[in-house]
Amino acid sequence: MGRVKVLHIDTGREWRGGQRQALFLHEGLLGKGIESRLLCNSEGQLYQREFDGKTGLPFHGELNPVFVRQVLRMVRDEQFDIIHSHDAHALTPTLFVKMFYKDVRLVHTRRVDFSVNKNRFSRLKYTNKWVDSVVAISKAVKNVLVEDGLDADAVPIINSGVRFPEHVEMSAIEQTASELGVSGFKVIGNISNFADHKDHKTLIRAFDALCQSRSDVKLLLVGDGPLYDEIVEFSRTLACFDRIVFTGHRDDVYELMHIMDLFSLTSTTEGLGTTIIDALYMGLPVVATRAGGIPELVQDGENGFLAEIKDVSAITGFFEKLLEDTALRNRLSENARNSAENFSDKRMVEQYIALYEQVLAV
């Protein structure tokens, strides 16, 4: 790939999967010698992280003229060849850029399996002549986009990728388990943002049912988010509350996964679910729902089990089955590690480079 300059835009305030993916891609491009800059919300958690090639601007709405003018100025001054938007709010300013700089290529990554037809403005952002490529992170996301009117041939799938750890601080694991009060217990874990579509309540109800027959289990919930306090208060109403550990936001996710025996994600919608990839890489059998792109990661009976959305009884049953059958748990654990290898950040970066070359050649 010749000299190319890429401007990534992510407007999110929280540190979630989308921000993580944008950063992995940006740093991967820099590692390949490609000029890349990541423009992020200066009031967001992504901007607080230390990495090369970042620029921060306050973001107060996708139609905010100040933000749009600043992006236009960056494109004019630094002469970017490609603008890559990483969330729906970031897509709008890039469309304004295209109106002024027609030679700039626009790439957008769609990470959620929500319809884009919620209103005329939303639909127009995705079905117009200015966006050169809308990338889906899973088959499930692509299917939604095609149902909403996008041409299937014009929506490539590039799966999210995980940067697998080169080292896990094993010496801290025993101490961490002790501090969290889970030493000696079978641990079911979840790492996710406390948002409505993650449906923590279904997971907690399933765990509560499990606690009626087992006294050796604890539920480890890692993360924060807008519904954190609500979920904690909901848990207080259940008999299992004293066996649930809420950690809040943590950066030592791989060390925490070493403490877990199972991983569970009970989302109602999910673009793909990169924390599942992390869990699989760490050899954790996964109990999850058939939401969005999750079945593209979890093969039922091979590296985990899949339940229907909100099926508390089935989820509890899978917990019981895995905890009681060590041989089954070990088989799924081995398969889990192998299946994760297909979702590395290096593979994702290579696929985006190929896409950039394609849109620039048109």
Question: 97 and 212: one domain?
Answer: no
- The 10s digit of each residue's pLDDT in 86-138 is 999 999 999 999 989 999 999 999 999 999 988 888 888 998 889 999 999 99
Task: Write the CATH number for 128.
Answer: 3.40.50.2000
Residues whose CB falls within 8 Å of the CB of residue 160, separated by 6 or more in sequence, listed in order:
17, 21, 111, 137, 271, 272, 274, 277, 343, 348
State whether 200 and 324 are in the same domain. yes
Domain total of the chain: 2
| Residues 45 and 129 reside in one and the same domain | yes
Do 175 and 80 belong together in one domain? no
pLDDT at residue 220 tops 90: yes
Q: Are residues 311 and 354 in the same domain?
A: no
Q: Which residues pair with 205 in a beta bridge?
A: none
State mean pLDDT over 150-173.
90
| 210, pLDDT greater than 90 | yes
pTM value is 0.92
Structure confidence by residue, pLDDT tens digits, 199-209: 999 999 999 99
**Shared-domain flag, residues 126 and 233:** no
Which one, of 132, 130, 5, lies nearest residue 80 by Cα?
Answer: 5
185 & 317 share domain: yes
Residues 41 and 87 in one domain: yes
Check whether residue 253 and residue 198 sit in a common domain.
Answer: yes
Tens-digit pLDDT profile for residues 232-259: 999 999 999 999 999 999 989 999 999 9
| 209 and 145 within one domain | no
Tell me what pLDDT residue 361 has: 92
* Judgement on whether residues 128 and 61 belong to the same structural domain of the protein: yes
Domain limits at 333? 170-343
- Does 349 share its domain with 335? no
Which residue pairs from 329-335 have beta carbons closer than 8 angstroms and sit at least 24 positions apart in sequence?
Answer: 329/261, 329/262, 329/285, 332/285, 332/302, 332/303, 332/304, 333/283, 333/284, 333/285, 334/283, 335/299, 335/302, 335/303
